[in-house]
Structure 1
Amino acid sequence: MSYKNDGRIKNTVRNIFFGYTSTLITALLGFIARKIFIMRLAESLLGVNSLYTGILSALSLTELGVGTALNFSLYKPVAQGDTETIKSYMRLYKKAYRIIAAVVAIIGIALIPFLPVLTNKGASDIPARDLTLYYLIFLFNSATSYLVSYKYSLVNAEQKTYIQTNIITITKLVSVTMQIVVLFVTSSFYAYLLTDLFVQLFQKIFVSRYLNKRYPYLEDRDIRPLTNAQIQEVRDKTVSLMWLKIGDTARTQTDAIVISAFINVIYTGVVDNFNMVINTVSSFVNTIFNAALPGFGNLIATESRQKQYDMFKVYRFAAQWLYGFSAVGFYILLSPLIILLYGQGWSLEQGIILFIIIEYYLKGERTVVNNFKTAAGKFEQDKYLATTQGVVNLVVSIVLAIKIGLIGVYIGTVVSGVIANFVRPYIIYHDCFDKKVRQYYIDSFKYHTVMLGTTLLCIWLSAYTLPSVKWIYFVLTGIMITVVYNVIFLIFFGRGEEFKYLKGILISRIRH
């Protein structure tokens, strides 16, 4: 495999660097802010904060895949420098997202009467008026974001996601720092939320003006209409993505709502502490694959199927390595870390953590498949799959939440997620590579077997390196897992073409 230092690699490396910088800054501030939040505000407010975040994430369903369909449509004209076609797509994007912002606002307001039902367990100490006003602040932030976010699609299609990353990082740095100060001074949840609202509003105004200046043709009034074929392509992909979006929202964005409605709103805050750690670490991992997504789109538009297949295997290898490593670390160290950061009262049973980590690991396996499928525009083939997953998740999660509690919610998430681990690889191999999918499943078996064996070995060793929950033992166990996992992984897979390719890129970057 060739690892020439082309534009895709340069942009991917740049995206990864700024992505890591962003994750590190926001993670440190986030943990400090969460600690102060727990110290200064009631635990029920942490639950409400997590619940409303989940509701607004579910409301992103109204985007219905329009952004993904239009992003795909931009890859080719951007690669060809076709400004007129870019302008045409961006005007369509602008109109679509104005409608989406209005729909989010309308549906969000319509949900207000149902808030007492979702918060009646664990938030009885908060007046109904305050619960509504808190929610409206969340809703304003969410709805107005659609008025600007469409402009990022052009930056991402140019494989320059670091621009968006840097803007978000600076905004987060300012917002969280000010929120920390506000919590110390006022201990007011209102002040905490309004601080973020004003910072985000300033960011949206700045981003709109900055991107208009960077791409002045976005303000042109003389714009050629899209052809009927181009509009139909966007419409067809959007309809297919609609089903994917509905199912994905029902599967991944409803856990907080189910926990709040059927168990207790306070648990949404407890679980959110664990999710915050997982999301922080997974941000480091995801940065690599998200940074490569625009490169995938360019690769598919310009390279042969064999080149696409070779790169898919490389990114898949990297995903299995990184997600497997972090999953082992999470299973052994996540609960001790939460206890060290927030105290014993914020811990969860190890069985619950097991299913959270299984879902994290399986999601990692799906990441490259999903990213490649998105970049290739293969939305129609499995448009009903995500809807099926969403139904399975909601039914299993609600039934088991009622019967066995919190662990049931995550059993439902795992059961629904594993369906895609079997179905979507077939689509990629059949439609993108024209190859049989059998080799994918054989490789999966090898990766999973090595990962499971390494996990069991690390659990056994952790009995000696982590005799009690103290920072010194925590760090020692982290070092043990790092050495053991990576040595074993390289013993089994270090001689493969995929590792040689990654090694070649690293060496070429060092030399340059």
Structure 2
Amino acid sequence: VVSYLLSYKRSLIIAAQLGYIDSLNILSFNIVTQIFQILFLIIFHSFYLYLFVQLLLTFLSNVRITMIANKRFPYLKDLSNAKRVSKDVADYLKKNVIGMMSAKFGGVVVNGTDNLILSSFIGLSIVGLYSNYTLFLTGLSSVLTQGISAVTSSLGNLGSEVGSINRQKKVFHQYQYINNLISVFGSFGLALFIPDVISLWAGKYYLFSALISFLIIENFFLTQLRQSVINVTNAYGLYWFERYKAVVEAFSNLIISLVLVILFKMGIEGVLLGTIASNIFVNSWWEPMIIFQNRLHDIWKKYTINYFVILILGTIMLAMQIFVIDNLFNRVGIIELFIKLLTFVLSLLVVLFLASYSAHISPAKLVKERIGIE
């Protein structure tokens, strides 16, 4: 609850393309929070103080960002010329809030039901093993998503400019291309090195089979491929059009997972296949369709080609890395790590070449161009 107090002015800072200020504010308070938490645990051995430090500094972080917003935008404190928001604007905001709530609901159900199904029908021990993998996946995903979503406000700014539709389409394809490569980078790294990390950290007894590892990382790969479309939807404020998609995604994931686990006795493989199926059969076409129907018309063909090229290519190479490379070089040694690192680099180069050819984008030219939007 405290995390929401005095936090609303953060939105204006982000919308003004000053998101780095908010990121630095969060980072600095997180560092201070963790330092004090460590000290309090060592000195007082109190979990209550540990939680109190987190609560207090979370609130102070919001106070700080509010002060920064008031200083950057002094008119926020001047209420002399305040006017009631027009009905059209209020209705538009209400619709988008409802759409966003629906999207968040779908995300919570999809992410939350997997562990519930695992613990209910398979056992808590599987949840413990699965959490070892999700720990690293969640951490990497947050880093990659932070980088990908950093330009959301810039995309929104471009979308508000009159006569910029051709520029928007070009930037969208470049954005998709960059997100695809980042998704491949993260997924290939996980496929090759997460078994070694877990072996060194927890032991080989905590490793899943190659098939389960493949399904976990394939699901991560599919989720990361969606980020460009999700951020463009956020930038254009198209939440209202997502309201049904999220519900369909949540229930399709739940039903498919339950059928595979209960009827076909598939275990954790069934739960993962249910999430993958909802990603492919619901999200992969519904989310981009919202953008193509409401903003960027006549670009679905190029987007679809680029999406399926990277999806098929990435999936094949993930399978080769997990079922072949990881099995052949399953020891944690210098030679094995060198071979995996070489495989990682070569795989990225292959994907870079084929993805560039498919998307008709030159990486060198793309680097030289200014992708950032004023």
TM-score with structure 1 setting the length: 0.64
Q: Deviation string for 1:335-369 (max 9, x for gaps)?
A: 22122123335433433322221221111221111
Q: Deviation string for 1:383-422 (max 9, x for gaps)?
A: 2111011112233334545544433332222222221102
Of 317, 336, 341, which aligns to 1:479? Answer: 341
State the partner residue of 2:155: 296
Call closer, same or farther: CA 1:387–1:340 in 2, change over 3 Å: same
In 2: Cα distance, 1:194 partner to 1:410 partner:
37
Contact in 1 for aligned 2:219/2:275 (Cα 8 Å): yes
In 2: Cα distance, 1:505 partner to 1:433 partner:
22
How much does 1:157 deviate?
Answer: 0.3
What SS class does the counterpart of residue 497 from structure 1 fall into?
coil
State the partner residue of 1:449: 312
Specify every segment of 5 or more residues in structure 1 that has no aligned partner in the other structure, as ranges: 1-142
Q: Deviation string for 1:448-468 (max 9, x for gaps)?
A: 23323433554434555x341
Q: Counterparts of 1:257-276 in structure 2 under 5 Å?
A: 257-260=116-119, 263-264=122-123, 268-276=127-135
In 2: Cα distance, 1:257 partner to 1:456 partner:
28
Q: Deviation string for 1:150-190 (max 9, x for gaps)?
A: 21100110111111111111122122233334444566544
Q: In the alignment, residue 148 of structure 1 is paired with which amino acid?
A: L
Deviates more, 1:347-356 or 1:146-155: 347-356
In 2: Cα distance, 1:262 partner to 1:461 partner:
32
Contact in 1 for aligned 2:325/2:340 (Cα 8 Å): no
Of 303, 306, 310, which aligns to 2:170? Answer: 310
In 1: Cα distance, 2:302 partner to 2:127 partner:
40
Call closer, same or farther: CA 1:356–1:461 in 2, change over 3 Å: closer
Matching of residue 280 in structure 1 with residue 130 in structure 2: no
Deviates more, 1:146-155 or 1:451-460: 451-460
Matching of residue 503 in structure 1 with residue 367 in structure 2: yes
Matching of residue 240 in structure 1 with residue 99 in structure 2: yes
State the partner residue of 1:340: 200
How much does 1:201 deviate?
Answer: 3.2
In 2: Cα distance, 1:266 partner to 1:174 partner:
35
Q: Counterparts of 1:42-81 in structure 2 under 5 Å?
A: none
Q: Counterparts of 1:315-464 in structure 2 under 5 Å?
A: 315-398=175-258, 400=260, 403-418=265-280, 419-435=282-298, 437-459=300-322, 460-463=324-327
Contact in 1 for aligned 2:192/2:344 (Cα 8 Å): no
Q: Counterparts of 1:11-90 in structure 2 under 5 Å?
A: none
In 2: Cα distance, 1:301 partner to 1:478 partner:
46
Contact in 2 for aligned 1:237/1:379 (Cα 8 Å): yes
Q: In the alignment, residue 318 of structure 1 is paired with which amino acid?
A: I
How much does 1:435 deviate?
Answer: 0.2
How much does 1:299 deviate?
Answer: 0.9
In 1: Cα distance, 2:321 partner to 2:25 partner:
39
Matching of residue 489 in structure 1 with residue 351 in structure 2: yes
What SS class does the counterpart of residue 433 from structure 1 fall into?
coil
In 1: Cα distance, 2:236 partner to 2:226 partner:
15
In 1: Cα distance, 2:363 partner to 2:114 partner:
37
In 1: Cα distance, 2:86 partner to 2:63 partner:
32
Call closer, same or farther: CA 1:477–1:164 in 2, change over 3 Å: farther
In 2: Cα distance, 1:322 partner to 1:151 partner:
31
How much does 1:316 deviate?
Answer: 0.6
In 2: Cα distance, 1:214 partner to 1:474 partner:
53
How much does 1:191 deviate?
Answer: 4.4
Call closer, same or farther: CA 1:449–1:355 in 2, change over 3 Å: closer
How much does 1:434 deviate?
Answer: 1.7
Call closer, same or farther: CA 1:170–1:379 in 2, change over 3 Å: same
In 2: Cα distance, 1:269 partner to 1:197 partner:
27
Q: Deviation string for 1:36-94 (max 9, x for gaps)?
A: xxxxxxxxxxxxxxxxxxxxxxxxxxxxxxxxxxxxxxxxxxxxxxxxxxxxxxxxxxx
Specify every segment of 5 or more residues in structure 2 that has no aligned partner in the other structure, as ranges: none
In 1: Cα distance, 2:216 partner to 2:46 partner:
32
Matching of residue 177 in structure 1 with residue 35 in structure 2: yes
Deviates more, 1:497-506 or 1:304-313: 497-506
Contact in 1 for aligned 2:257/2:271 (Cα 8 Å): yes
